[in-house]
A and B are shown apart, each in its own frame.
Chain A
Amino acid sequence: MERYDVAVLGGGLLGCFMARELRRYPLKVVLAEAREDVCTGISRANTAIVYTGCDTRPGTLKTRLCVEANRGFDTLCRELGVPFSRRGSLMVSYGPRADRVLQNKLLQGMENGVEGLRLLSGREAEEQERGLAPGVSSALYAPGTGVADPWGLCYAAWENALANGVAPWLGAPVTDLLPEHGGWRVVTLRGELWAAAVVNCCGLHADQVQELAAPPSVRISPEKADYLMLDEGAGNYVGHVIFHEPEEKGKGLTLVPTLEGKLLLGPTEEGAAGPASATTTAGLGRLRQLAAQVAPQLDLNLTIRSFAGVRPRPYSVVSARSIHDFTITNPARGLWSLIGIKTPGLTCAQALGAWLAPQVAETLGRREPDPTFRPERKAPVRPRTMSREERAALVARDPAYGRILCRCGGITEGEVRDAIRRGAVTLDGVKRRVGTGLGRCQGSFCTDRVMELLSRMLGAPPEDLWKDGPGSRLLTGGRYGEG
C-alpha cells in the first residue's frame, strides 16, 4: 500500500489549493479525486468574482480570510500565471430599504478592514454606469472587487501541486476511511493508500466522506443557481461588477463582465430541486425579468448559454440551522473536513489551504518550510495575448500555434494540444482549460476538431470520448458503416 503524510480528498479549487499549500512543508502529499480530472464538481460554475469581504460579519474566519485573500489576489494570480482583473464593483440600490443595506455594508466593510469603499450618489453611479436603469438612489463602490478565471485558477493550483511532487490519484472515489496505525487507510475504487492525515475537500460530498469516519455533525444541502452568459457584444455593457440590491427582499441581479469580454448574469437564488445542475424556467425567467428592470438596454438576444451552478449550503445536524461561517471540522485526530465552503470560496480557496496547512504540518511535527517548494507555475502559451512580433516568432517555432482551431475564441491547435498534455481527457476538460466551445458557436465548429485531437493524443477511438466524465459519451451510434 502506498504511504503518504497527507491525503487530500477532492480535486476542486479547495483540494487543489490545499495540496499545493501542504507542499510548502516537507510532506508527502497525495490528492485523490473521484473523477477523471480535477475541476469537475462545484468549482465548475460560479460568478468568478473575487470578493472584498464587506458582505460578511466581522470577526468570522470567512471575513478574515476573504479580506486577506482579496489583498493578495494579484500576487497569487501572477505567481500561478492566470489572468485577473480588478474591475471594482458597484452595489446599486433603488430605494430606502436597499440604501440602508448599502450603508450597513459600508460600515461592516470598514470594520472588516476593506479599503477604498465609498458611497456614491445615484447620479454619480449612473454617470459611471450608463447602462443602469435610471433612478439609482445610491451605490457602494468597492475598488477591490475582482474578476478571476476560476477554472484557470484551479488547474494552475493543480499543476503547481503536481510540479511540487503531489501524487495524483484520479478516478479514485473514496469508499471508506479507516483509522489504522495512527493514521488513515483510504479505500478508493482505484485501490487503497495509507496517510497519516486526511484533508477532506469533497465539495458537495464532504459531509458523506466525513461520515465514513466520524459521526454526523454538519450536513450539506445543495443549493442551485441559474446563470446566463451573453456574447462579447454585451461585455462592455458595464465596466464594473454590478450587484443590484433589490428594494423588495430576495436576491438581485449580478452582472459580471468576464475576462473574455462576455457578460455573465446571475446567480439566482433557489432551493435544491430536481437534478443538481438543471436550470429551471423560474430561474431563467427571474434573471430575464431582473435584467429588464436593472439593465433595460441589455440585448438578451446575445445570450449564448444558460447554465446552473450548485453551492453546498452547510447546516448543523444538531440545530438544523444553516451555518454561515466557513466550517472546518477536525472530528478525529488527523482528519480535517472543509464542509460547505461556498461564496466567497473561490476568493478564499488558497487562503483556506494556507490557513489549514500549517495546522496539519504541526500535527505531523513538520512545521519547518520545505525549501524545495516553488510557488510559481508557468502560464500556458496564449497566442492571442501576445504582440504581433511575439506571435509571429511563436508560429515560426511551432506551427500548431498558427492553426486556429476555435474561431470564436481565436484558440489555436497548439493550445488545445497543450491542454491535453496538461491533463485534459474530455471535451469539457479542454474547454475549461483553454476556452474552446465557449463562444457564440457553442462548439458547432470546433467540437469535432477537439475530439480528433483528443482521440489521436490519448490513443482512444472517438466513440470512447466523453463530454464531461463517465456516462457522457459523445458518440453513441456505434461504428460507421455498421447498421
Chain B
Amino acid sequence: MEKVDLLVVGGGAAGMSAALAAASAGPVSVLLADRETRLGGILPQCIHHGFGLGYFRRDLTGPEYAGRIIAQMEGAAVSVRLNTTVLSLSQRRTAELSGPTGYETISFRRLILAAGCRERTIGSLPVTGTRPAGVYTAGLVQRMLNLRHWKPGRRALVLGSGDLGLIVARRLALEGCQVVGVVEQKGSCGGMVRNYRSCLMEQNIPLITKATVTRLHGEGRLTGVTLRRLDSGKEERVACDTLVTALGLIPERELLAGLGDKVPGWASLCGNCDYVHDIVDTVTTQAEELGRQVGLELLGRG
C-alpha cells in the first residue's frame, strides 16, 4: 500500500494552495488527487474577471488565477493524480482511489478535504409540474458554455440572483440567448453590486424580486414556468425553454459521512468545502495557512 504523509482531496484553488504550503514546510510527502482531467477546480470554467484583486493584486479571470497557482505546482514536491476520485475514507486513515491508472488503497497520516461544493438543485424546492429538458444548474450551464462550447437554450430564466446566477445570466446573453429575467425571492439582488451592474444592468436583464418559480411546463423540452409573486401571491406564466437554477452552494463533505458525527482529528476542511467563500482570494489565504500548519504538525513542529 502506498503511504503518504498528507493526502489532499481536490485540486482547485484550496487544494493546490494547501498542498503547496504543506510541501514547503519541509520534507513531507504530499499527494493531491482530483477527479478532473486538469487542475484548477471550478476556476477554468469561470472565464469572467474579478479574481485575484486581493491575493495577486491583479484583476484576473478564473483560468488566469488558476494558471498562476498551477505554475507553482510545477516543480513543487507535490505528486498529483488527475482523473482520480477518492471514493471512500476509513478510520484507519486509508483512502480508496479510483482512476484510469488504477484502483488502489492509500494510507495517509493527515488529510485535507478541499472538494469544493455542489449546487442546490430544483429537486430540493417545492416546484411541481413536468420534468422536461432545459432545467440546468448555473454551474452546468457555465461548463456547457465555457468549456464545452455548447449553447443550452434560446430563451432563459435564471432562478437565484447570487453572483453565480448573475454571471451565468450575462454569459447566456453574450452568447445570444435571450435572458428574460433573474428571479430573486428576497427584496433585492443577492450578488455583489458590481456584478449586478455589469451582469444585469449593462445587459438590460431585469431583476425580478420577491418572486419564485412554482411550476415547470413542457413535455419534452421546457416551454415555460409559473412565476409566483411572493407579496401578492399572483401567478403568471413565463415562456422560456431554459431554466437556470442558481440556488446556492452545498459543501461536498460526503467523504466524511461514514466516519461519525465529528470530523476526525486527522482530517481538515479547506476552501469552499469548509465554508462558502465570496471570493477565491480568501480561499487561497486560508488554504495556505492550513497547509503550512498541517505540514509543520507532520514534521513534529506544529
Contacts and interface: CB of A to CB of B under 8 A. Distances in A.
Nearest to B123: A305
B100 A395 contact: yes
Given A400-B100, A444-B118, A277 B131 contact: yes
B161 interface: no
B288 interface: no
A304 B121 contact: yes
B137 interface: yes
Nearest to A388: B105
A105 to B, nearest CB: 33
A477 interface: yes
Given A388-B105, A395-B98, A462-B148, A442 B123 contact: yes
Given A392-B103, A452-B148, A473 B143 contact: no
Nearest to B148: A448
Interface residues of A, number: 62
Interface in B99-152: 99-105, 118-119, 121-124, 126-134, 136-137, 139-140, 143-145, 147-152
A404 B85 contact: yes
A443 interface: yes
B153 interface: yes
A452 B137 CA distance: 18
A231 to B, nearest CB: 9
Contacts of A412: 98
Contacts of B143: 448
B149 A399 contact: no
B96 interface: yes
A395 B98 CA distance: 8
A349 B6 CA distance: 53
Contact of B124 (A278, A304, A410, A466): A304
A448 B150 contact: yes
A472 B134 CA distance: 8
Interface residues of B, number: 55
Contact of B220 (A301, A400, A470): A470
B154 interface: yes
Interface string A454-483: 000000001100111111111111111111
A306 interface: yes
Contact of B154 (A281, A440, A462, A477): A477
Given A391-B103, A462-B150, A480-B151, A307 B98 contact: no
A100 interface: no
A395 B134 contact: no
Contacts of A479: 151
B153 A476 contact: yes
B238 to A, nearest CB: 16
Interface in A296-331: 301, 303-307
Contacts, number: 164
B157 to A, nearest CB: 14
Contacts of A277: 130-131, 219
B128 A284 contact: yes
Contacts of A214: none
B274 interface: no
A468 to B, nearest CB: 7
Interface string A408-451: 00101000000000000001000000000000111111011001
Contacts of B140: 443-445, 447-448
A10 B74 CA distance: 58
B177 A477 contact: yes
B35 interface: yes
Contacts of A442: 121-123, 137
Interface string A267-307: 00000000101111101100000000000000001011111
B131 A476 contact: no
A83 interface: no
Interface of A: 229, 233, 275, 277-281, 283-284, 301, 303-307, 383, 388, 391-392, 394-396, 399-400, 402-404, 407, 410, 412, 427, 440-445, 447-448, 451-452, 462-463, 466-483
The 5 closest A-B pairs by CB, nearest first: A477-B151, A471-B220, A467-B133, A399-B100, A472-B220
Given A275-B219, A403-B100, 11 more contacts: A278-B128, A281-B214, A392-B104, A404-B87, A442-B122, A448-B143, A452-B148, A470-B220, A476-B242, A477-B150, A478-B154
28 contacts: A277-B219, A284-B126, A303-B123, A383-B98, A383-B103, A388-B105, A392-B103, A394-B103, A395-B103, A403-B99, A404-B85, A407-B85, A441-B118, A441-B137, A444-B121, A444-B139, A444-B140, A448-B140, A448-B150, A462-B150, A468-B133, A473-B220, A473-B221, A476-B134, A477-B151, A478-B151, A478-B154, A480-B175
